[in-house]
Amino acid sequence: MQTISVKCKLQVPVEFCQEIDVTLQGFANACNQIYEVAKRENCWNTTKLHHKVYKPVREATGLKANHVCQAIRRVTGNAKAVKQVHEFRPTSLNLDIRTFQYIEELQTVGVTLMCGRVKFKLSIGNYQLALLKGQSPTAATLNKTRRGDYYINICVDLPTNPTGKTPVLKSFAPGNPDAQTFRKVIGVDLGRRDIATTSTGKSWSGKQIQNTRDRYSKVRANVQSKRTRSSRRLLRRLSGREQRFQKWLNHNISKCLVQHGERSNAALAFENLTNIRESLNQKPRSKTERRRTNNWAFYQLRLFVEYKANIASVPVVFIPPAYTSQTCSRCGHIHPVKGKFYRSGKSFKCGHCGFEHDADINAALNIAALGLSVIQPESPGISCQLEGQLNLFPTSLFELG
């Protein structure tokens, strides 16, 4: 099963807006009080913290019992996820099966507020209706936007292996008698100049996101020098805009990649770029290049591809990235002189066979060939100098982590 969040807009009558706001403010106050106790006593265990703060927080805020329990979980979860927890703001409320109910027949949700259980109509389209059909969700998050609109993010579980689809990634472990093999693999080369390039020739330029990040970086540098309260608010707003644009872009790219794999009945192969930032930053680089590398959101794209591919039952494999951009996809040769490459910018010209191609597509073709050797170990894969120099051909998917 794959858990996803379905964002639905609430139709909130005017008389209940204040009730929601009061509950959100009470939940934020509870989180801030709990965080102060946890920080003062260095207690981040949910159960131990519950015994310390439950009664005083409930008396101070007037929240329902389950709201206080969710506030404790919110604080401990945030402390584990981020290095520094800032003040909690009245913008969201965690809900569980005791404080939330989805009624499919009426397309309404029941939410427990400080005044009691209130039902709200959902304003949603066919996409949300299809995801919620037949579901019995037990968790959700109520959110208030800057414009004053109210949304509820409902957590639903979707099957990752629908009827008639091929098995998912783990079924490709060599030796599994029930495994169905894919005859085609689409390699995906990730980068900053082009965010993603496939072995079939599709590519997504990174120029727009790079220009956006550079523009926001200049604005932040000017605002940070002022050190005022309004400048701090502006910094938070700019950060949110930049993150939302990056997320929107990665969602679009990941959706296209998964749909491409599904239509082609092909697996997707990516380079395993774990710790790539650390290795790049060890080289002499300008401050601008270091910032651009650190802002490269390749891991977010990978996560989006993985969960979308799970739902669509498109296998995703990861291969070692070494020499994929330096190897000729036609003859398999790399430059014999250490420190020199056949690749120059966006062009690739092999000095052995004379093969010329787009450098990113050439790398994606190598990734596809290596991915095929993972899914089908008996296939020839790539026969080249690399086989003698590097152990790039894992015998099972589990060696790739």
The domain ranges of the chain are 2-158, 169-400
Residues 6 or more apart in contact with residue 390 via CB below 8 angstroms: 320, 322, 323
Tokens at residue 44, please?
């981040």
Residues paired with residue 8 on neighbouring β-strands, in sequence order:
152
* pLDDT given at position 379: 56
CA-wise closest residue to 111 among 91, 124, 103, 57: 103
pLDDT in tens, 68-98: 999 999 999 988 887 677 789 999 999 999 9
The Cβ of residue 313 has, within 10 Å, a number of other Cβ atoms equal to 19
Q: Are 322 and 367 in contact (CB under 8 A)?
A: no
* pLDDT given at position 182: 56
**Sequential DSSP letters for 351-374:** TTT--EEEHHHHHHHHHHHHHHHH
What pTM was estimated for this model as a whole? 0.68
* pLDDT given at position 380: 56
At residue 201, what is the residue type?
G
Length of the chain (residues): 401
Pairing label, strands 100-103, 92-95: unpaired
Where does 194-228 have alpha helices with state H?
Answer: 207-224
* pLDDT given at position 161: 54
* pLDDT given at position 176: 40
* pLDDT given at position 321: 84
pLDDT in tens, 27-44: 999 999 999 999 999 999
* pLDDT given at position 81: 80
As to burial, measured by CB atoms within 10 angstroms (0-12 exposed, 13-18 middle, 19+ buried), residue 235 is: middle
Residues 6 or more apart in contact with residue 138 via CB below 8 angstroms: 96, 97, 100, 155
3-state secondary structure of 293: helix
Strand order in the sheet with 267-271: 203-205, 194-198, 185-190, 267-271, 316-319
The segments of the chain whose pLDDT lies below 70 read: 83, 160-183, 225-227, 232, 239, 277-278, 280-281, 292, 377-401
